Amino acid sequence: MTVTVGSRVPDVKVVAVENGATSEVMTGEYLGSGKVVLFGVPGAFTPTCSDYHLPGFVIRAEDLRAKGVDKIACIAVNDVFVMKAWAASQNISDEVVLLADGNGDFAKAAGLELDGSGFGMGLRNQRFAMVIENGAVRSVAVEPGGGLTVSSADSVLASL
């Protein structure tokens, strides 16, 4: 079942990469307090994700915080080692937390999985962005195609 406005954020175990350190977290608790922007990407190191999606949220982090956002997180169906290397390659410190959903448990629980097997990528996230307030989904935008429009940092910022 796809998450919808008003539903609770799925509660699954992922690994957070924050300030170079890693820790196992449950998404329900980790994303469940305050105002959180969570965006999902099909994969670390992929062109749109690395060149536009993630950097957009890093660049706009202060603007999002000025609108009351407490945490910005990016989730991908990649293992923690890939996510940690991606954070280092993007020079991310505390602007955005990266969440490694290595088995795709969050993607499946949220109903946001993407079958990328035609591209040799297996199960992935659809590209999306959601605003979560105290554990409840307040908005969710899923990209209708291969572009980056409704889930960009600018789109999220405009919706707040």
Q: Please name the residues in contact with 146: beta carbons below 8 A apart, sequence gap of 6 or more.
A: 48
Q: What is the pLDDT of residues 12-28, one digit of tens each?
A: 999 999 988 999 999 99
Catalytic residues: 49
Domains and CATH numbers, the chain: 13-159 (3.40.30.10)
- Do residues 133 and 6 make contact, with C-beta atoms less than 8 angstroms apart? no
| 77 CB-contact burial (10 Å; exposed 0-12 / middle 13-18 / buried 19+) | buried
Q: Which amino acid is at 20?
A: G
For residues 85 and 120, give the distance between their C-alpha atoms in angstroms, rounded to a whole number. Answer: 21
For residues 117 and 27, give the distance between their C-alpha atoms in angstroms, rounded to a whole number. Answer: 26
In this prediction, what percent of the chain has a pLDDT beyond 70? 98
The pLDDT value recorded for residue 2 is 83
- DSSP-assigned letter for residue 78: S
Query: Which of 108, 45, 106, 122 has the alpha carbon at shortest distance from 73?
Result: 106
Tell me the pTM.
0.94
Q: What is the pLDDT of residues 44-64, one digit of tens each?
A: 998 888 888 999 999 999 999
| 67 CB-contact burial (10 Å; exposed 0-12 / middle 13-18 / buried 19+) | middle
